[in-house]
Structure 1
Amino acid sequence: MFRGMHHINLDAKGRLAIPAKVRETLEEASVSALVVTVDSQDRCLMVYPLEEWIKIEAKLNQLPTLNPASKQLKRLLQGYATECETDGSGRVLISPACREYAGLVKECVLMGQGNKLELWDKARWDGQLDDYLEQPMSLENLPDELKSLSI
């Protein structure tokens, strides 16, 4: 289970050091490989443990190939999907295509999202956060599943 926010830097070769807390979570779950792909709705990346990605990919493969929305989603998620492993220093290499899609240059934000992590360019995340704070969610627009959530 991934949670929390980590400010990290991408090095000149496109590698990022996985924070120690995240590495511990991966090690506890015996995760050796990750899959990095794009988010189809936001200009950020999604980082899945390989086992979790396999479940997602199985669902993607069941989508109808002649449906334009399905085709677009599959092209983005599967087309950009890159399997990677951490090196001896706990770093992962983010592909140039994924870095370009998310606008990653140096300063990044890695956020836990339960079964996956999101990787954002820090400036882009800061702008997204400002948007969230300026326009808080209205109770009328919440899905029914969230209306009963007690926080």
Structure 2
Amino acid sequence: MKGFLGEYEATLDAKGRFLLPAGLKKQMPDGEMKFVINRGFEKCLTLYPIQSWEPIYAEISKLNDFDPKVREFRRYFMNGATDVEPDTAGRILLPPNLKEHAALDKDIVLVSAFNKIEIWDAGQYKKFFESFSSETFSNLAQQVMGKANEAGM
């Protein structure tokens, strides 16, 4: 899988469903339309194509169950993870508990995040970028990418 690119606006209907934008559908590996949706690390949801989810699940299942930090991480990360796929009309239903977690109302933004898609409330997503100055972004880029360059990447 090469990954996703782009940001796409969508609208939730009264039942909490949205249409997967055509631009993202075209990027799906082998046209596969099975996903796992879960809480994101920020106040968003993460939509994993099944090909991206399976290696993560396999890695988490190998962790030491006797370590309390592992159990805590598993509970937070796995709690709420749900299999989803588009209905016959192409809509994906957001589980109510996850929709509430990310405070999704009507207008949402689907954002590529390499091998997964983040789902944000449109207003929250806009605020996130408005609060991030170009100087802050430049410093972050130096910290993150500077380390990558030092490692020979």
Kept in 1: contact 2:25–2:31 (CA 8 A): no
Kept in 1: contact 2:104–2:121 (CA 8 A): yes
Task: Report SS of the residue matched to 1:108.
Answer: strand
Matched, 1:112 2:112: yes
Kept in 1: contact 2:4–2:114 (CA 8 A): yes
What CA distance in whole angstroms lies between the structure 1 residues aligned with 2:8 and 2:152?
26
Task: Report SS of the residue matched to 2:57.
Answer: helix
What CA distance in whole angstroms lies between the structure 1 residues aligned with 2:15 and 2:21?
18
TM normalised by structure 2 equals 0.86
Q: Per-residue deviation at 1:140?
A: 5.5
In structure 2, give the amino acid aligned to 1:145: A
Structure 1 match to 2:20: 18
5+ residue gaps, structure 2: none
Q: Per-residue deviation at 1:148?
A: 8.1
5+ residue gaps, structure 1: none
TM normalised by structure 1 equals 0.87
Q: Per-residue deviation at 1:25?
A: 1.9
What CA distance in whole angstroms lies between the structure 1 residues aligned with 2:32 and 2:107?
25
Structure 2 match to 1:122: 122
Q: 1:72-151 residue pairs with structure 2 within 5 A? A: 72-133=72-133, 135-138=136-139, 141-142=143-144, 144-145=147-148
In structure 1, give the amino acid aligned to 2:99: R
What CA distance in whole angstroms lies between the structure 2 residues aligned with 1:113 and 1:147?
24
Structure 1 match to 2:51: 51
The verdict on how the C-alpha distance between 1:13 and 1:142 changes in structure 2, with shifts beyond 3 A counting, is: same
Structure 2 match to 1:33: 34
Q: Render the CA deviation track for 1:69-128: whole Å, top value 9, x for unaligned.
A: 322321122111110111122110010011011000111010111110000011111111
Kept in 2: contact 1:47–1:117 (CA 8 A): yes
Task: Report SS of the residue matched to 2:48.
Answer: strand
Q: Per-residue deviation at 1:146?
A: 5.7
What CA distance in whole angstroms lies between the structure 1 residues aligned with 2:73 and 2:37?
15
What CA distance in whole angstroms lies between the structure 2 residues aligned with 1:126 and 1:68?
37
What CA distance in whole angstroms lies between the structure 2 residues aligned with 1:87 and 1:79?
23
Q: Alignment identity in percent?
A: 27
Aligned pairs, number: 148
